[in-house]
Structures are given as C-alpha cells and as structure tokens.
Amino acid sequence: MIHNTSLALLGGTFNPPHKGHIGPALEAIKEIGVSRLGLMPCKLPPHKCVGGIDEKHRVNMVQAVCKQSALLYPELIELSLPSPSYTVQTLRELRRQHPKATVYFLIGYDSLYNLPSWHEWQQLTDYCHLTVMRRTDGNVALSAELTAFIDARREYEPDIMSGKPGGSIYFADTTLHTVSSTALREAIAGTTRNETASLAKEWLEPDVIDYIYKHQLYQITE
C-alpha cells in the first residue's frame, strides 16, 4: 500500500550520487509503502569532507539523477539552513513544514553504528522513523547504549509506522552494494570521457558522467 501523506528522505554528500546509494533506497521505499524518494544533499556536514566540490555541482548531479525517474526528487531543505549542518536540525525543520506527515529518514547500517557520534542522536526519532538499509554485513558490534535505543523503538511491520509521524526504527531488506563514492572518484580521476572506468559506467547515470566531465570534476583532464 502506498501512503500519500508520507515523506522518505535519503541524505548524503552525493559526491557523486550513484546507484549504490539510490538502488537500495528505492527498494526500501517500496517495502515501507512510500511512492517517492527525496535525495537530500547535506550542507557541509561536520563529519565529512566534500573534496573541494562546490555545493552547486552536488545539487546539479542530484537533479540530473532525479530526472531519470519519477520516483525521485531533489529535497534541498538542508542547504537553506544555517551552518553547521546537523540531521536532527534538518528533521526538526522538516517536521515544522510538514507537521502531520509520516517521515522516513533512510540511513545505511554503517551510519547506524556511528549514530552515537551524531548531534542529539537520541532525538532523531522524535521527528521521523529511521529506516536502516544494509551497507555492511551487519556483524558490527553495537554499543549497549545504541542497542537499548534500537530495542526500545524497533518496528517489524511497515504498516504500523504509516499512521505515525515518527518514533520507530525499521530494518529494510535491501540489496547490499559495496561501491563507494570514494572508489568512483578514484576510478574517474585522470581518465577522459571515452576512457571512463567500467566501475563508473556501472554505478553512475550517463547524465552524471557527462556532467562530471563537462565541469572537470575530480581533477579530470581531457
């Protein structure tokens, strides 16, 4: 069942946006019953470096990806907020703008076990349902504090979450992809458009590859 009063968001630096990010997220929204996925570029997150790539390029690449599917749209709310960028602040503002919507915030398992390092991490579920996608084999040991946080909020049936604004943590049965933005940047660097590495061709949309070469991102030289 598709729930029209629901929002599903995938945040990231999207540097560049690739199918390893987006494919599992599309699987997750189908599982939880949401019709569209918002790709939300982060605004200079405190825990990541964007490698010297201007914000406008990350936005433009996200927009190029979203043009490929009616299931995707760019969600630029975080870029309009003051720095520093914290997910809890973004979700708080999103909740202010959509007070009655059911909000699902998608994260990878790698982000889940790092959650205690996030700003006000225990307040995240005040504003959304956390939906966890596999990005590792899931065998990483979680801290006692994080385990208790999950156990108190874990939900096993997506339909139960649909009538609630937030409060739950759900583990989606998504495909595991091990490709990373770092590996893709390294695969592209120093190659020409006609020599694009097979890794990039497999995981990036053609329009994104074209954009990267047009603007000579990632130290590309023709």
In this prediction, residue 182 carries a pLDDT of 86
Identify whether 219 is part of a domain: no
Tokens for 206? 């053609």
Identify whether 208 is part of a domain: no
Tell me: the pLDDT tens digits for 56-97? Answer: 999 999 999 999 999 999 999 999 998 888 999 999 999 999
Q: Are 183 and 218 in contact (CB under 8 A)?
A: no
Number of domains in the chain: 1
Range of the domain at 100: 6-177
Identify whether 66 is part of a domain: yes
Tell me: the pLDDT tens digits for 162-213? Answer: 989 999 999 999 988 878 888 888 888 877 777 777 888 899 999 999 999 8
Distances in whole angstroms, Cα of residue 67 to Cα of each of 50, 60, 101:
23, 11, 25
Radius of gyration of the chain (CA): 17
**pTM above 0.75?**
yes
Helix segments in the chain, DSSP class H: 19-32, 55-66, 87-97, 109-113, 144-151, 158-161, 181-188, 198-203, 206-214
Q: Residue 47 maps to which CATH number? A: 3.40.50.620
Tokens for 10? 């995938």
In this prediction, residue 199 carries a pLDDT of 83
Tell me: the pLDDT tens digits for 110-136? Answer: 899 999 999 999 999 999 999 999 755
Identify whether 210 is part of a domain: no
